[in-house]
Amino acid sequence: MLRIPADLLDAVIAHARADHPDEACGVIAGPEGADTPTRFIPMVNAARSPTFYEFDSRDLLALYRDMDDRGEEPVVIYHSHTATEAYPSRTDIAYASEPHAHYLLVSTRECGSGDGPVEVRSFRIVDGEVSEEPVEVTSADAPSPDAP
Amino acid sequence: MAIEVRIPTILRPYTDGAKIVEGEGATLAALIDDLDARHAGLRDRLVEDGALRRFINVYLNDEDVRFLGGIDTPLGDGDSVTILPAVAGG
């Protein structure tokens, strides 16, 4: 399951709407091993494409150095699909390289850059195997208590 | 000629979990051969048909080796090499 604070999820969705019709992408980093997303880091889609995304290579190095310095890891890796459902594409699966990350997909095919409905789903992608997981949106103010 | 190499999470199964390993080589290709001798299987994850795989980024210090000499980039003692898989998809 992905537990994500509402303000961070809102930031991801706002980024996806803003970059529509191109794919938006980014990371939510969090303390290593805690599985808790805390720091929203929108990235430039170097491909600037409606069907592909890729972090710029220099930005990628800077991102990983920064996370390393802070003792963080990429808890969530997000990107948008702008004409298809929020489900990993074949290329998403082929290039997924963070076995501990939650791959969060946002589809803006209905809303475009407007206020309409978005589809948000989360997946683990490990060794080419996709498994969907529930998304629990927690209050932005307080960390979520353990589920009863 | 020791070169420090930072290994990404997904390749750490090849290095017994080590985040940083050491290797030797006068070029990136030679370094990768040396790493493969110490951590068998690593080369195949980095190299295809004699060139770096498209979705593997390798940095010499602060620079992507694609903007240097690719797999033939010369290395020197004390250099630091970072391997990062691209974050990409469709």
pLDDT at A148: 46
Find which of A43, A49, A64, A78 to mutate to test the B interface (most B CBs within 10 Å of its CB). A64
Interface of A with B (CB under 8 A): 25, 27, 43, 47, 51-55, 57-58, 60-61, 64, 73-74, 77, 79, 88-92, 94-100
DSSP designation for B62: T
Q: Are the Cβ atoms of B55 and A47 closer than 8 angstroms?
A: no
| Total domains in the fold of chain A | 1
Segment A20-38 shows an average pLDDT of: 97
What range does the domain containing A129 cover? 2-138
**Residue A143 clears pLDDT 70, i.e. is over it:** no
The sheet carrying A39-43 orders its strands as: A39-43, A25-31, A72-81, A102-107, A119-126, A129-133
Is position A148 within any domain? no
Confidence at A33, pLDDT banded by 50, 70, 90: very high
Minimum CA–CA partner of A89 in chain B: B90
**Residue A36 clears pLDDT 60, i.e. is over it:** yes
Is position B90 within any domain? no
Q: What is the pLDDT of residues B16-49, one digit of tens each?
A: 999 999 999 999 999 999 999 999 999 999 999 9
Distance (Å, rounded) from C-alpha A7 to C-alpha A1? 18
Side chain identity at B71, as an amino acid letter? I
pLDDT at B11: 97
Q: Are the Cβ atoms of A64 and B82 closer than 8 angstroms?
A: yes
Confirm whether pTM is higher than 0.90.
yes
Is position A145 within any domain? no
CATH code of the domain in which A123 resides: 3.40.140.10
Can you list the positions of beta strands (E) in A6-146?
25-31, 39-43, 53-54, 72-81, 102-107, 119-126, 129-133, 135-138
pLDDT at A81: 98
Which candidate from B64, B84, B88 shows the least CB-CB separation from A64?
A: B84
CATH code of the domain in which B59 resides: 3.10.20.30
Is position A146 within any domain? no
Work out the mean pLDDT of chain A and round it to a whole number.
Answer: 94
What range does the domain containing B65 cover? 3-85
Distance (Å, rounded) from C-alpha A9 to C-alpha A139? 11
Confidence at A145, pLDDT banded by 50, 70, 90: low
| Total domains in the fold of chain B | 1
Is position A66 within any domain? yes
Q: Which residues of A47-66 are buried (b: 16+ CB within 10 A; e: fewer)?
A: beebebbbbbbeebbebbee
**Residue A109 clears pLDDT 90, i.e. is over it:** yes
* d(CA A8, nearest CA chain B) in Å: 20
